[in-house]
Amino acid sequence: MALQPYLMFDGKCEEAIAFYRSAIGAEVAMMLRWKDSPDPAMCQPGNENKIMHAAFRVGDATIFASDGGCQGQPHFAGFALSLTAHDAAEAQRLFGALAAGGQVQMPLAKTFFSPSFGMVADRFGVPWMVYVEA
C-alpha cells in the first residue's frame, strides 16, 4: 500500500513542477495533459495543454499533481509537506529554495526537537516544513 499527496495547482501545475525540479531536485515520473485523454469531452476549451495528472518524486516520496479546475487560484490548507534534510546545511539550502517568492512562516532555527527546523509556504502556497532529525 502507498499513500501519496495529490496537489491541485489550479492551472499552475507545470510551473510548480519546474520550480520543484530546480528548488529541491524533484524528478518527473509522468505527466499527462488534458489533450491526451481518450475522451475529448473531458477537456475544457483552452486547457488542452494543462496537466490532467502528473507524478514527481522528491527523495523517496511520490507526489501527484494536477491543474485541477484551471482557475489560477490554488488553495492549500490543513496540511504541510515535511521535507527531511540530512544536515543543517542541506536544510538551509532547501528552505531557501522553497522560500524564494514564498512566505516564511517560521524561520529555520534550532529547536528542542531538531537542530534545524522551519516552516514556509512556497510561491504556490504549498506549506512545507523543513526538518533535520535530531
3-state secondary structure of 81: strand
23: left (phi over 0), alpha (psi -120 to 50) or beta: alpha
For cell 500500500, what's the residue?
A: 1
Q: Where in the chain are the domains?
A: 6-66, 81-132
Tens of pLDDT along the chain (134 residues) come to: 889 999 999 999 999 999 999 999 999 999 999 888 887 777 677 778 999 999 999 999 999 999 987 777 788 999 999 999 999 999 999 999 999 999 999 999 999 999 999 999 999 999 999 999 98
Note the pLDDT tens digit of each residue in 40-73: 777 677 778 999 999 999 999 999 999 987 777 7
Q: Which three cell numbers stand for residue 34?
A: 488534458
For cell 489560477, what's the residue?
A: 72
Q: Which residues contact 52 (CB under 8 A, 6 or more apart)?
A: 32, 33, 34, 36, 37, 42, 66, 67
The matching CATH number, chosen from 3.40.1800.10, 3.30.720.110, 1.10.10.60, 3.50.50.60, for 81-132 is: 3.30.720.110
3-state secondary structure of 72: coil
Residue type, 78: G
Query: How many beta carbons lie within 10 A of that of residue 11, not counting itself?
Result: 19
* Alpha carbon distance, N-terminus to C-terminus of the chain: 28
Q: What is the CA radius of gyration of the chain?
A: 16
Vertex 23, ends 22 and 24: CA angle to 5°?
105
Q: What is the CATH number of domain 6-66?
A: 3.30.720.100
Q: Model's pTM, two decimal places?
A: 0.92
